[in-house]
Chains A and B, each alone.
Chain A
Amino acid sequence: MRCFYALLLLAALLPAQNVQTATLANGMKVIIQEDHNIPNVALYFFYKIGSRNERPGITGISHFFEHMMFNGAKKYGPKQFDNEMEKAGGNNNAWTSEDLTVYTDWFPSSALELMFDMEGDRIRDLSLDPKMVASERGVVYSERRTSVDNNNFGILYEQMHAAAFTAHPYHWPVLGWPSDIEAWTQQDLKDYFAIGYAPNNCTMVVVGDVTVARVMELAKKYIEPIPRHDPPPPVRTKEPEQLGERRVTVKKAAQLPIQMVAYHVPEARNPDAIVLDVAATLLSRGQSSRLYKRMVDEEPLALSVSGNAGDSLDPTLMIFTIQPRNGVDPARTEKVLYEELERLQNTEISPRELQKAKNQLLTAHYSQLKTIAGRASLLGHYESIFGDYAKTFTIDKDYEAVTAADIQRVAKKYFTEKNRTVATLIPEGKSK
């Protein structure tokens, strides 16, 4: 245990103490960490809206919105957000998931006020110029062609999700179905802005070369006057229990097959979720992991293998992704995966192997804390998904608490035949 306690010591040394929080009168939570190591700032906005808040007919609209947020508001018109920001030495991006839409700004501290002004402008007064909507539709379609239609992993992932979830909104892709991308209307966009972009549905995170006083002064000036309104309605639909294995096949031109095996697992706040993180690490992180050793190293079965379940608001999937070697029948890699999952369920895990997985998770977590962007990302993630930003600095204790018996219990509970969806991409024109 010596090594592990030493790792805990490291966590204590990390700059956790100077995080400060406040809540604006309109309900937006603000999380601030001063760090003057470099003269730059990471300013992130986490909106609790994503594809889970959509419905058939408007799938992909959360992601489309993320794009439209750069296409002009009242004070700063089309292109101005990017033009002004880059002129001031800053850069930005944004991403959308099933659960969240996140806007990320990186800039020198001299641009702090400009960024608050522009962020406030687009949260309050986004304009939805029909011309910009038309051109942005083309951009989003191109993004979909790149990440799904012309990406074998992307298309299999989409088909697998659609089969594993029959009722819950995780059924549809974040980018949306093509027919919805083509069809959503100006009114759909207006309605969606009204439900998603409430200040009380957002967390702001500021990390870097700032003072708390200055951030709060700017937040009060530019963000606080934006009125609160109703957040998105709760997602009511729950995925019914899966009653038997589901199998999906995608036939596509390809050199090699791809296989994904997915099990329904709980949401991030469920205590089993972190146990599954440790299990996934033990199975597939690093060249000493069980699946890598067995399938990539010892037997020439796969080019790559990975397994993980992301932190999510609703019950999600633990997905094992395997690329079988040339000439290897995917039935063979599938069988070996099940053998390894059974071994995890039924054979004792050594204390050293368990410790190894925990150490890997911890150092990976610490390495995200090295940058202002990494810290802004983690603080917002834990606040939005767990309702507790401080998990950024205490997750080590959760890892520490996981036992070998926990891993075997969750492995038995979730890695069952009835609970799985198996998706295989088979190269077109070749027999299986």
Chain B
Amino acid sequence: MFGQAKLPQYTKETLPNGTVIAMMPRSGVPLVHLRVLIKGGVESDPQGMAGLANLTANLLRRGTSKRSAQQFAEELDYLGGTFQAGFDGQLGSATAISSEFLSKDFDKGLDLLADAILHPAFTESEVHKELARRIDGAKAVKDNAQASINSYFRAAFFGRAHPYGNPPDEMSYSQMSRKDIMDLHQKFYCGRNMLIVVTGEFDPSSAKTKLAQIFGAAPAGTAYAWGTAPALVRRGQLLLIDKPDATQTYFQIAQPGIDRKNPDRTTLDIINTLFGGRFTSMLNDELRVNSGLTYGAGSILEQNRLPGAIVISTYTKNDTTTQAIDMALDVLRRLNEKGITAEQLASAKAYVKGLYPTSRLETMDQLAALIGEIELYGLGRDEVDGYFARIDNITLDQANAIIKKYYKTDDLTFVVLGSADKIREQMKKYDPHGTEVSIKTSGWGN
């Protein structure tokens, strides 16, 4: 029905200093996309300095050895170019710096991007300004319940010892200095730790020469040494965050999931689609369509370098909080006990395949991100070319066995954000020893 997905060809070569360059020339729209990955990402934050790698990425464009921050901004905006620097995904194990320009501006765009990545100045005044802004930003995010519950969840589910369990806060930012940023940059922004992906309309041979000349001059350094994931120590607990003015309760219910390379991932993609990954999913059908309790309910299957979580997530008005939580737990129990039907399996297979081209293969920025993932995680191009075949081959028995293995009903972590006076007593049935924190307290409850 859908044929096969196919990743267009790309070339890959390694410079003498270890930098890997991947190129996929595509004609059509005269734009070029550059994506540079620095390995480490959220995992490379030093102890007590959550947010340092992300801060470093954000400061790259704020002044270089030959441009002030304002000169950089003016040149970039004049080209109408984009420049984004942050994590590759929410919990990226790489920092991604991506830029898009008109093809005719390739040289100017490359010069700006490389200048920011290789020669940032990190002046005392820019560092100070950005840190002050972030400390205020950490306060402002508490005004947004939906955004802040994710950070509380990270801390509660993974715990402080885990690189995913330390969302930055006022405290971690107040520990950072210019020297920490310089050290992180020197250590990780080096040849052996860098991957450059170029997609779009450009001349590959002259692009290769220019990239080799500019990025080949970076010191080789050493590649990031990946760590292992610490055990999850707080399973089965409930964290209640008190926001007295909230008129609805936001909650997440989580259990351990998988990493990006787990062999069960394709089957889990399909199952999680049915459970909470699309409009007609079991969770949304029950909590929204049948009962009108919420605007939306779903389940996220995290797939990062280290094993992540399977997270049920939704919200409802204060007085239907337990009704909604119980209903979500009931949907989970039914999935666990009854599994799925052949008809459901066929529908989810078609859905995932049908949307794959527009979500991953349509634009040059999507393709650059995909190549980045394939190279970073060592997935191989079969990740795309073999995807539909892997989906087709999933049998009902396999799917139901995977459900039993992952979608469990005990030892769940609950994170609930709402008006505590109205829901505190009712939360005890999920965990009689749950902890409570005020949203006004700095940090994320850890």
Binary B-proximity of A143-172 (CB < 8 A = 1, otherwise 0):
101100111100000000000000000000
Is there an interface contact between B354 and A111, defined as CB atoms closer than 8 Å? Answer: yes
CA distance A10 to B79 in the complex (A): 13
The reply on B140 being an interface residue by CB < 8 A is: yes
Binary B-proximity of A281-306 (CB < 8 A = 1, otherwise 0):
00001111100010011001001000
Binary A-proximity of B369-383 (CB < 8 A = 1, otherwise 0):
000000000000000
Is there an interface contact between A297 and B29, defined as CB atoms closer than 8 Å? Answer: no
- Give chain B residues whose Cβ lies under 8 Å from the Cβ of A39: 2-3, 357
CA distance A326 to B138 in the complex (A): 11
Is there an interface contact between A86 and B29, defined as CB atoms closer than 8 Å? Answer: no
Question: Given known contacts A82-B279, A256-B136, A293-B70, is B288 in contact with A139 (CB within 8 Å)?
Answer: yes
The reply on A21 being an interface residue by CB < 8 A is: no
Q: Which of the candidate stretches A188-196, A314-322, A362-370, A403-411 sits at the interface with the other chain?
A: A362-370
Is there an interface contact between B102 and A363, defined as CB atoms closer than 8 Å? Answer: yes
For residue A153, give the distance in angstroms from its CB to the closest CB of chain B: 9
Question: Given known contacts A107-B354, A359-B80, is B29 in contact with A138 (CB within 8 Å)?
Answer: no
Q: Which of the candidate stretches A54-62, A227-235, A247-255 sits at the interface with the other chain?
A: A247-255
Is there an interface contact between B288 and A370, defined as CB atoms closer than 8 Å? Answer: no
Is there an interface contact between A13 and B30, defined as CB atoms closer than 8 Å? Answer: yes
Most chain-B CB neighbours within 10 Å: which of A89, A252, A254, A256? A89
Q: Which of the candidate stretches B184-192, B289-297, B407-415, B427-435 sits at the interface with the other chain?
A: B289-297
- Give chain A residues whose Cβ lies under 8 Å from the Cβ of B144: 151-152
For residue A155, give the distance in angstroms from its CB to the closest CB of chain B: 11
Binary B-proximity of A256-290 (CB < 8 A = 1, otherwise 0):
10000000000000000000000000000111110
Binary B-proximity of A1-24 (CB < 8 A = 1, otherwise 0):
001001100100110000000000
- Give chain A residues whose Cβ lies under 8 Å from the Cβ of B61: 287
CA distance A320 to B354 in the complex (A): 40
Is there an interface contact between A86 and B77, defined as CB atoms closer than 8 Å? Answer: no
The reply on A106 being an interface residue by CB < 8 A is: yes
The reply on A238 being an interface residue by CB < 8 A is: no
CA distance A246 to B145 in the complex (A): 30
CA distance A106 to B245 in the complex (A): 39
- Give chain B residues whose Cβ lies under 8 Å from the Cβ of A146: 146, 248, 295, 315
CA distance A371 to B31 in the complex (A): 13
For residue B110, give the distance in angstroms from its CB to the closest CB of chain A: 16
Is there an interface contact between B363 and A91, defined as CB atoms closer than 8 Å? Answer: no
Is there an interface contact between A359 and B2, defined as CB atoms closer than 8 Å? Answer: no
Question: Given known contacts A13-B30, A135-B292, A373-B358, is B80 in contact with A363 (CB within 8 Å)?
Answer: yes
The reply on A87 being an interface residue by CB < 8 A is: yes
**CB contact list, A122-152 vs B, under 8 A:** 134-143, 145-146, 149-152
The reply on A352 being an interface residue by CB < 8 A is: yes
The reply on B104 being an interface residue by CB < 8 A is: yes
- Give chain A residues whose Cβ lies under 8 Å from the Cβ of B315: 142, 146
The reply on B132 being an interface residue by CB < 8 A is: yes
Is there an interface contact between B293 and A255, defined as CB atoms closer than 8 Å? Answer: no
Chain A interface residue count, Cβ-Cβ cutoff 8 angstroms: 76
**CB contact list, A47-100 vs B, under 8 A:** 79, 82-83, 86-92
The reply on A333 being an interface residue by CB < 8 A is: no
Is there an interface contact between A10 and B102, defined as CB atoms closer than 8 Å? Answer: yes
Tell me which of B279, B288, B289 contacts A86 (CB under 8 A). Answer: B279
Is there an interface contact between A150 and B292, defined as CB atoms closer than 8 Å? Answer: no
Measured as residues with beta carbon below 8 angstroms from the partner, the interface class of chain B is 35 or more
Question: Given known contacts A37-B28, A108-B1, is B102 in contact with A88 (CB within 8 Å)?
Answer: no
- Give chain A residues whose Cβ lies under 8 Å from the Cβ of B354: 40, 88-91, 107-108, 111
The reply on B11 being an interface residue by CB < 8 A is: no
Binary A-proximity of B169-211 (CB < 8 A = 1, otherwise 0):
0000000000000000000000000000000000000000000
Binary A-proximity of B27-41 (CB < 8 A = 1, otherwise 0):
011110000000000
Tell me which of B29, B77, B279 contacts A285 (CB under 8 A). Answer: B77
Is there an interface contact between A139 and B362, defined as CB atoms closer than 8 Å? Answer: no
Is there an interface contact between B102 and A145, defined as CB atoms closer than 8 Å? Answer: no
CA distance A259 to B364 in the complex (A): 38
Tell me which of A149, A369, A428 contacts B247 (CB under 8 A). Answer: A149
Q: A146 — nearest CB in chain B belongs to which residue?
A: B295
Question: Given known contacts A146-B315, A149-B247, is B280 in contact with A38 (CB within 8 Å)?
Answer: no
CA distance A356 to B76 in the complex (A): 9
Is there an interface contact between B78 and A356, defined as CB atoms closer than 8 Å? Answer: yes
CA distance A323 to B278 in the complex (A): 34
Is there an interface contact between B76 and A288, defined as CB atoms closer than 8 Å? Answer: yes
Is there an interface contact between A150 and B2, defined as CB atoms closer than 8 Å? Answer: no
Is there an interface contact between A288 and B73, defined as CB atoms closer than 8 Å? Answer: yes
Tell me which of B30, B81, B291, B351 contacts A10 (CB under 8 A). Answer: B30
The reply on A242 being an interface residue by CB < 8 A is: no
The reply on A308 being an interface residue by CB < 8 A is: no
- Give chain B residues whose Cβ lies under 8 Å from the Cβ of A136: 292
Is there an interface contact between B139 and A255, defined as CB atoms closer than 8 Å? Answer: yes
Is there an interface contact between B294 and A139, defined as CB atoms closer than 8 Å? Answer: yes
Is there an interface contact between A145 and B317, defined as CB atoms closer than 8 Å? Answer: yes
Is there an interface contact between A106 and B358, defined as CB atoms closer than 8 Å? Answer: yes
The reply on A110 being an interface residue by CB < 8 A is: yes
Is there an interface contact between B292 and A86, defined as CB atoms closer than 8 Å? Answer: no
Question: Given known contacts A39-B3, A142-B316, A152-B143, is B280 in contact with A79 (CB within 8 Å)?
Answer: yes
Is there an interface contact between B70 and A135, defined as CB atoms closer than 8 Å? Answer: no
Question: Given known contacts A146-B315, A303-B140, A370-B363, is B295 in contact with A364 (CB within 8 Å)?
Answer: no
Is there an interface contact between B280 and A359, defined as CB atoms closer than 8 Å? Answer: no
- Give chain B residues whose Cβ lies under 8 Å from the Cβ of A371: 358, 362-363
The reply on A344 being an interface residue by CB < 8 A is: no
Is there an interface contact between B295 and A150, defined as CB atoms closer than 8 Å? Answer: no
The reply on A312 being an interface residue by CB < 8 A is: no
Most chain-A CB neighbours within 10 Å: which of B135, B279, B361, B364? B279
The reply on B119 being an interface residue by CB < 8 A is: no
Is there an interface contact between A91 and B351, defined as CB atoms closer than 8 Å? Answer: yes
CA distance A106 to B355 in the complex (A): 8
The reply on A372 being an interface residue by CB < 8 A is: yes
The reply on B69 being an interface residue by CB < 8 A is: yes
CA distance A358 to B81 in the complex (A): 12
CA distance A87 to B315 in the complex (A): 27
CA distance A58 to B417 in the complex (A): 33
The reply on B161 being an interface residue by CB < 8 A is: no
Is there an interface contact between B77 and A38, defined as CB atoms closer than 8 Å? Answer: no
- Give chain A residues whose Cβ lies under 8 Å from the Cβ of B30: 10, 13
Question: Given known contacts A139-B295, A288-B70, is B351 in contact with A87 (CB within 8 Å)?
Answer: yes
CA distance A352 to B139 in the complex (A): 38
- Give chain A residues whose Cβ lies under 8 Å from the Cβ of B361: 38
Binary A-proximity of B284-324 (CB < 8 A = 1, otherwise 0):
01001111111100000000000000000001110000000
Is there an interface contact between A82 and B280, defined as CB atoms closer than 8 Å? Answer: yes
- Give chain B residues whose Cβ lies under 8 Å from the Cβ of A3: 78-79
CA distance A145 to B73 in the complex (A): 38
The reply on B74 being an interface residue by CB < 8 A is: yes
Question: Given known contacts A10-B30, A89-B353, A145-B247, is B69 in contact with A297 (CB within 8 Å)?
Answer: yes
Binary A-proximity of B125-152 (CB < 8 A = 1, otherwise 0):
0000100110111011011111000000
For residue B127, give the distance in angstroms from its CB to the closest CB of chain A: 14
Q: A363 — nearest CB in chain B belongs to which residue?
A: B80
CA distance A138 to B315 in the complex (A): 12
Is there an interface contact between B292 and A139, defined as CB atoms closer than 8 Å? Answer: yes
Ranked nearest first, the 10 interchain pairs of A and B with the lowest CB-CB distance are A89-B354, A138-B292, A363-B80, A135-B292, A288-B73, A287-B73, A359-B80, A253-B245, A286-B77, A38-B357
Instruction: List 15 contacting pairs A-B, 8 Å CB cutoff, sorted by A.
Output: A82-B279, A86-B278, A86-B347, A108-B1, A110-B2, A145-B248, A146-B146, A253-B244, A256-B143, A287-B70, A287-B73, A303-B136, A356-B74, A367-B82, A372-B362
Given A13-B29, A356-B77, 4 further pairs, Cβ under 8 A: A255-B140, A303-B137, A367-B82, A370-B31
